Structure 1
Amino acid sequence: MFNKVTIQEDQRGLLFHKGSYARYLLPETYTVWSVLGQTVAVVDAAKPLAVEGKALKGFLGDAALLQDVDVVDVADSELVLRYEDGKFAGVLTSGQYAFWNVMRANRFVRVDLGDPMLSDEVDAAIVPKLAGYVQGLEVQAHETGLLYYNHVLQRELGPGKYVFWRGPVKVEVRTTDLRQQQLDLLGQEMMTEDKITLRLNFVCQYRVTDALKVLQIRSMEDQLYVLLQLILREYVGTMKLDELLRVKEEIAAFVMSRLAEKQAGYGVEFVSAGVKDIILPGEIKDILNTVLYAEKKAQANLITRREETASTRSLLNTAKLMDENQTLYRLKELEFVEKICEKIGHISLTGGGNMLEQMNALFGKK
């Protein structure tokens, strides 16, 4: 018994004899003798070469067949990106594959998972189609990133979005904020040289200059806090309260000079520092207020006495001038009469004579 088998232009045939692969069949009509144990598998040339129940390796010894297929072996440490006629067609994981090249052109891009960074061969446009095979990490505009493979530092990354292959290598990006930051030291109790306990509020600003050094320091902000605390204790502990209050503006300069000596070891740069508040105990505050009140009262008394002395001296000088100059005396007298008249509603004159004579007698010189 025999059968006629026709293979179309977009198909290819695989002839088997008693279950074993015999040869490759091109598009044509063939007589297949089933009585002799012959069978034909007709496959779609637009799909990968595969026959159910048959291993691919059994076909790859045929030189004629190998001219029309592209065979790809993918290792466990690899991925292969497959393109058909220049368009992305899929991802191949570990294994062996064969694709017909008679209907379209195949292109393959190998990816070494030992290097997780996507190479320039991988078009960024296909990244969304690689979900499950890649992971995205981001460094913000105000940050710098350090790239680690299996906890081993590789290089520094600037701001941007990065895509890495998922695989045997663990990828990690540790970011550091480069913006100016503030460290507040609030309510710190410190003792002056004269054994007076006060509370100090202090603030300083800094920014990161060496991200690697910062990441190598555990709880860096806590360590900076302790460093600032020790420097302030060192300064306050060597000064008496009166002296400290008098030169409190100089505390910031001292602290900044000491911080500048230490900043390189922390990978930061200190920008500014300053005292916000010095809070005294209640009884000390009352004493200082009493002293301040006494000082201000003494100053007020001194100013009053100084003004009284100046006023008396001015009167004495005026008296001397009027004593030496009768015209000036008469003008001063008329000035006082004018002031008196401004406050008098009316003047009553009695006796004989006219009004001018009476006024002259009243205010005139005796």
Structure 2
Amino acid sequence: MLKTVTIQTDERGLLFRKGSYVKLLQPGTYRFWSWKKTTEVVLPVTKPFAVAGKDLRLFLHDEELLRQLEVVHVQDHEIVLHYEDEKFVAVLPAGSYAFWNVLKRHTFIRVDIRNPELPAGIDPAVVPKLGTYIQTFEVANHESGVLFYNHVRQRELPPGKHVFWKGPVSVSVAKADLRQQQLDMTGQEMMTEDKVTLRLNFVCQYKIVSPLRALEFKSFEEQLYIRLQLLLREYVGTLKLDDLLKMKQEIGAFVLSRLNGESEEYGVHFVSAGVKDIILPGDIKDILNTVLLAEKKALANTITRREETASTRSLLNTAKLMDENETLFRLKELEFLEKICEKIGTISLTGGGNLLEKLNLLLGDKNGRKA
């Protein structure tokens, strides 16, 4: 009894006898005797070559079949990007694959994932389609990144999106903020040379200029804080309280100078530093207020005595001039008379005589006798 098998143009057939592969069947019509116990598997050439339950290696001895297949073997440390007619199709992980080359042209990009860098030949438009095979790190415009392979530093990364393969090599990116930053020291207790305990509020601005160097420090900001604390203790501990209060503007200059002397060690540039507040204990504040009040009272008394002395000296000089010059004395009398008249509503003079003479009689002569 005959059985008929038809293979279409977009198909290929595989002939098996008693379960073993025999040959490739090209498009056409075939008739087989049923007693020969043959089976035929028809495969579409638009799909990858795969036979259920059969390993690909069972077919690779057939040279005629191999001429119509593109066979790809992917090692454990590789992935392969599969393209059909220059269009990306899929990522092939470790394994063996075969594709019909009859209707489509297949090309492949082989990638060694032991090197996390993406090859230059991969179109950026393909990258989002790579899914779980890649890992992405973004460095903002105000940042600088440092690339590490297996925790070993490689190089500095500029701002942008950076893509790496996921594989046996661990990839990580540490980022440093390049903007100006501020380090605040609040309520730091310190002791002056004369054993007065006070609290300082201090501020310091800085910018990271060498990310590779700065990221070598564990807890970078904490170490900067401790260094700033030690410098302040060094400076404050050499001054008495009175000197410290007079020179508090110089604390920032001292600290800034010392910090910039160590800037290369930290990979930063220190922009500014200064004291915001000096907070004294309550008893010391009361003492200072008492001293200040006493100083102000003493100053006020000094000024008062100085003004009184000047006023007395002025009166003495005026008296000497009037004693030496009778006309000046009479003018001064008239000046006082004018002031008296300004405060008196009405003056009544009786009797005859000249008005000025009568006023003169009121005043008397310069020796105090009535005219």
Aligned partner of residue 238 in structure 1, secondary structure: coil
Query: In the alignment, which residue of structure 1 is the partner of 2:36?
Result: 36
Q: Residue 69 of structure 1 aligns with which residue? A: 69
SS at match of 2:173: strand
Aligned length: 366
Q: Give the TM-score of the pair, scaled to structure 1.
A: 0.89
Describe the superposition over 1:127-184 as per-residue Cα deviations: whole angstroms up to 9, x where unpaired: 2222222222222222221111222222111221222222222211111222222222
Q: Name stretches of at least 5 consecutive residues in structure 2 with no aligned partner.
A: 366-370
TM-score when scaled to structure 2?
0.88
* Aligned pairs for 1:1-366 within 5 A: 1-352=1-352, 362=362, 366=371
Q: Percent identity?
A: 65
SS at match of 1:132: helix
Q: Post-superposition shift, 1:97?
A: 0.8
What SS is found at the alignment partner of 1:49?
coil
Q: Which moved more, 1:78-87 or 1:247-256?
A: 247-256
Distance 1:157 1:110, change over 3 A: same
**Per-residue deviation, residues 189-248 of structure 1 (Å, max 9, x unmatched):** 322222222222222222323333333322232222222222222222222222222222
For the 8 Å contact 1:32–1:39, the answer to whether it is kept is: no
SS of alignment partner, residue 260 of structure 1: helix
Between the aligned partners of 1:53 and 1:202, the Cα distance in structure 2 is 76
**1 CA distance for matches of 2:99 and 2:226?**
67
CA shift, 1:358, in A, is 5.4
User: Counterpart amino acid of 2:24?
Assistant: Y
Contact 1:32-1:40 within 8 A present in 2 as well: no
Partners of 2:44 and 2:364 lie apart in 1 by: 144
Q: SS where residue 47 of structure 1 aligns?
A: coil
CA distance in 2 between partners of 1:5 and 1:222 (Å): 80
Cα deviation for residue 348 of structure 1 reads: 3.1
CA RMSD of aligned residues (A): 2.6
Measure the CA separation in 2 of the matches of 1:210 and 1:194. Answer: 41
- Shift in Å, 1:95: 0.9
Q: Report Cα offsets for 1:310-332 as digits up to 9, x if no partner.
A: 33333344444445555544444
The 1:192–1:140 alpha-carbon spacing in structure 2 relative to 1, beyond 3 Å, is same
For residue 303 of structure 1, report the CA deviation from its aligned partner: 1.8
